[in-house]
Structure 1
Amino acid sequence: MLDFRTVREETAGPRWQALFGHHWPAYEQWYLSEGERERPGYLACYNALRKYMPELLDTYRMLCELAGGGDLAARFLSLYQPPPYITGCSQAVLASPASTLLARNYDYPPELCEGTILYTRWNARRVIAMSDCLWGVLDGMNDRGLAVSLAFGGSKAVGQGFGAPIILRYLLEFCDSVPEASDVLARIPTHMAYNITVADAAGRYVTAMIGPDRPASIRRVPVATNHQKKIEWYAHALASETLIRERQLSILVADEATTEDRLIAAFASPPLFRHDYRRGLGTVYTAIYRPMTGRAQFHWPGLTLELGFDHFPEERITVRYGARGLYAG
């Protein structure tokens, strides 16, 4: 069971602080799961942020203060060289002169998800995003017309760099277009392999295949699942059905007859929608972003949550996951 909550707080304050207090015990346990010595020290974390994302430092300092100013929390919030973690996920862009849509399924153990949809204005841009690690982004959009989504890249390689959620936060806080986002994705190091799909209100899109052991490959590709140019981790590829899902999405997006409704319906059905919760590869939610209009939707079977920059009701939705499916109420 997972409670999804929408939280609106344009300037970080007591509501974000309450979220930190609620989630920190679990995040602390995860952050120390390999031992504290495996995590970088505070100065290394701070200097990495200052080098690669200096515009984010004021927000980082503000959140560290709200979190109590402790050393461990500050290191965690930097998302610099966090413990490795593996997700599933499918994502696709359907673009036309009249509309741009970014759709994604997030496949992960529900019990490890935060379930918070944040509306913020920490810098110059308003942002709606599914939160991870309390300020990172799994998927989201800003009011300048940029939408982003991440998926695991299918490699066991781990190295020096940032967790992708903070990179996506940086994109939404400081980028307005796909070309700007592409420049960022080409230069910021990541600790694991990820596929980042980015779309904007002008109909542009790319998928960036990034990893700690390879230069970023940024191409005008509208779909991504859980491998990059070739299969590197065969067991995960078979379990997650990454090739099957990629083929399904590629066929849909290439078909001129595919409408937005048809694509969204495909995300609600196998093979894109997965019920493999036992192995942590079940679909937790479906997200739909329309950067031209600033509208977002979150889908579960039988339930849709409609959000936007001009319409962001604060709600709580309880979703129950199990071998026979999931139920929202």
Structure 2
Amino acid sequence: MKQVYSDFIQFRGSHYDFGYMQGELLKDSPILPNRIKHWTSKRKRYFTINEKESIQLLNKFIPGMLAEITGLADALQWRIEDALREFGGHYVEYGRSGCSILAGSQYLIRNYDSHPGSYEGRYMIYQPTDTGYAVIGPSMQITGRIDGINEKGLAMGYNFINRVGSGDGFICNMIGRMILETCANVEEAIDLLKEIPHRTSFSYVLLDPSGEAYVVEATPRSVIARKSNISTNHFEILKEENRYQMDESIQRKQNIEKQQGNHSNVYEAFRILNDRDKEIFSNKYNAWSGTLHTAAYLPNERKAWFALGSDRMPVIIDLESFLKGEKLNFKKIIGQLDYDTPFINMELL
């Protein structure tokens, strides 16, 4: 077993100041050296961007992001074009991953499945003072969000579907950040997902205080929304976009459906996804589909639950308290994985 941790980072202020603060922290972190090492052989292929187009799209869909990237660039003493390439979310292929999501009327719970050597280990809570909603959730590629909830009670998680047939557009974690920072409810999030360009195919699961969960099937070619409370790694409507091999994803969905009927509250539902004996939590880290975190979001309470590894009691994080000006008493969230590779925030790999 390997002990792992996510750094808990909280901030109030402008997007520029938020970016600058993150850049200062990253100077002393192995995250960027590990990331650059991982992408070195693929950089020319995947990190080619149209700078002017990226700026225009970021300003249109998430107005504070360019200022955040500028703050990162200034703190790291990078050129803005290099910071856009690294943090703009408008370019790169996304690594393989699993992921399972279960929603009820009062909660959205998801397992994030991937490889530990790609996981940043940064849990972010940010309240902007210039533009956008306050958001809580784990980061990916610094500026993106893997899942989360905002001050309006809109919760979001996504599931990887397919990399084949990719187009020019934003990647999943930046889209997740856009949804949470700019949308007040499910309807606004669906409208945004239909408007933005998508790099690859993902399902986005949405829940707000109304209690009605939606799955949005999004590809570079088409976007369609449907009411549903379970999502794994295949589409139900845009079936032509699915990968050839879907048996494991279908089996996982059926397993969740079979178990959810016996569990009515958020804690019992959390256990379905986090307990190893329920057979949803995955240890397939070598295949980039091992469960790294289990997160739960409660829209009506504006709370997040979070656990690293299996069979754990979640840490409960109160966004409402943070919005009232309190400093939350966390520095790290600690867990254990049945694998030897650490997260990229922990040491040079």
Which TM-score band (shorter chain)? 0.7 to 0.9
Code of the residue aligned with 1:126 in structure 2: it is A
113, 118, 122: which is aligned to 1:112?
Answer: 118
84, 94, 113: which is aligned to 1:74?
Answer: 84
**Which position in structure 2 is the counterpart of 1:246?**
253
- Structure 1 window deviating more from structure 2 (290-299 vs 51-60): it is 51-60
Cα distance in 2 between the residues matched to 1:92 and 1:137: 18
| Percent identity over paired residues | 23
Cα distance in 2 between the residues matched to 1:29 and 1:84: 16
Cα distance in 2 between the residues matched to 1:313 and 1:225: 33
**Which position in structure 2 is the counterpart of 1:65?**
74
Cα distance in 2 between the residues matched to 1:207 and 1:252: 20
Equivalent residue of 1:306, what SS?
A: strand
The answer to whether the 8 A contact 1:64-1:77 is kept is no
- Structure 1 window deviating more from structure 2 (110-119 vs 146-155): it is 146-155
Cα 1:7–1:33 shift into 2, 3 Å: same
Cα distance in 2 between the residues matched to 1:32 and 1:188: 28
Cα 1:281–1:37 shift into 2, 3 Å: closer
Equivalent residue of 2:294, what SS?
A: strand
**Which position in structure 1 is the counterpart of 2:214?**
206
Cα 1:155–1:9 shift into 2, 3 Å: same
- Structure 1 window deviating more from structure 2 (40-49 vs 184-193): it is 40-49
Cα distance in 2 between the residues matched to 1:116 and 1:257: 30
The answer to whether the 8 A contact 1:150-1:164 is kept is yes
The answer to whether the 8 A contact 1:118-1:128 is kept is yes
Cα distance in 1 between the residues matched to 2:203 and 2:37: 27
The answer to whether the 8 A contact 2:91-2:168 is kept is yes
- Deviations along 1:24-83, one digit per CA (max 9) or x if unpaired, are 222333454423254214233223323544464444434443443422222221110113
The answer to whether the 8 A contact 1:225-1:246 is kept is yes
**Which position in structure 1 is the counterpart of 2:330?**
314
**Which position in structure 2 is the counterpart of 1:186?**
194
**Which position in structure 1 is the counterpart of 2:104?**
94
Code of the residue aligned with 2:270 in structure 1: it is I
Cα distance in 2 between the residues matched to 1:252 and 1:78: 39
1:225 matches 2:232:
yes
Cα 1:32–1:323 shift into 2, 3 Å: closer
The answer to whether the 8 A contact 1:19-1:134 is kept is no
- Deviations along 1:145-188, one digit per CA (max 9) or x if unpaired, are 11111110245232111011111111111111101111001111
Give the superposition deviation at 1:257.
5.9
Give me the TM-score of the superposition, normalised by structure 2.
0.82
Cα 1:34–1:13 shift into 2, 3 Å: closer
Code of the residue aligned with 2:315 in structure 1: it is L
Code of the residue aligned with 2:118 in structure 1: it is L
The answer to whether the 8 A contact 1:88-1:106 is kept is yes
**Which position in structure 2 is the counterpart of 1:45?**
54
**Which position in structure 2 is the counterpart of 1:149?**
157
Equivalent residue of 1:319, what SS?
A: strand
- Structure 1 window deviating more from structure 2 (80-89 vs 100-109): it is 80-89
Cα distance in 1 between the residues matched to 2:117 and 2:163: 23
**Which position in structure 2 is the counterpart of 1:3?**
5
**Which position in structure 2 is the counterpart of 1:26?**
34
- Deviations along 1:211-245, one digit per CA (max 9) or x if unpaired, are 12x3101111111111113383234x34xx21111
Cα distance in 2 between the residues matched to 1:27 and 1:257: 40
Higher relative contact order (CA 8 A, sep 6+): 2
Cα distance in 1 between the residues matched to 2:5 and 2:64: 32
Cα distance in 1 between the residues matched to 2:184 and 2:227: 17
The answer to whether the 8 A contact 1:76-1:82 is kept is no
Equivalent residue of 1:181, what SS?
A: helix
Cα distance in 2 between the residues matched to 1:263 and 1:130: 20
Equivalent residue of 2:12, what SS?
A: coil
Give the superposition deviation at 1:117.
0.6
Cα distance in 1 between the residues matched to 2:179 and 2:126: 14
Please show how residues 129-140 of structure 1 align to structure 2 within 5 Å.
129-140=137-148
The answer to whether the 8 A contact 2:19-2:69 is kept is no
Cα distance in 1 between the residues matched to 2:87 and 2:263: 44
1:265 matches 2:271:
yes
- Give every structure 1 segment of 4 or more consecutive aligned residues whose post-TM-superposition deviation is greater than 6 Å: none
Cα distance in 2 between the residues matched to 1:275 and 1:216: 32
Cα distance in 2 between the residues matched to 1:104 and 1:77: 24
Equivalent residue of 1:278, what SS?
A: helix
Cα 1:78–1:264 shift into 2, 3 Å: same
The answer to whether the 8 A contact 2:108-2:298 is kept is yes
Cα 1:51–1:173 shift into 2, 3 Å: closer
